[in-house]
């Protein structure tokens, strides 16, 4: 919020690996959304991103 007030553009903190994993997991219906370091299951349950990446590894790279 402070960045917006100061006129700064938001920074994309997601790495290419995270983006690739998220796109893969979303296509497999493992996750429905992502916000920061939290992903949401199709049931709406928030789960830590790193935990989900360990639980559902993919060879996305």
Q: Could you read off the pLDDT of 35-53 as tens digits, one per residue? A: 999 999 999 999 999 999 9
Spatial distance between the Cα atoms of 41 and 59, rounded to a whole number of angstroms: 20
Is a pLDDT exceeding 70 seen at residue 13? no
Is a pLDDT exceeding 70 seen at residue 10? no
Average pLDDT, the chain: 86
Is a pLDDT exceeding 80 seen at residue 3? no
Beta bridge partners of 38: 35, 48
**Sign of the torsion angle spanned by Cα atoms 4, 14, 43, 26:** positive
CB-side exposure of 9: number of CA atoms within 13 Å?
3
**56 neighbors 30 (Cβ within 8 angstroms):** yes
């Amino acid at each position: 919020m402070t960045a917006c007030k100061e006129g700064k553009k938001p920074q994309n903190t997601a790495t290419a690996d995270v983006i690739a994993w998220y796109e893969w997991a979303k296509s497999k219906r493992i996750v429905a959304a992502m916000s920061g370091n939290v992903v949401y299951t199709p049931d709406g349950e928030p789960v830590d991103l790193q935990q989900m990446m360990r639980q559902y590894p993919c060879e996305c790279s």
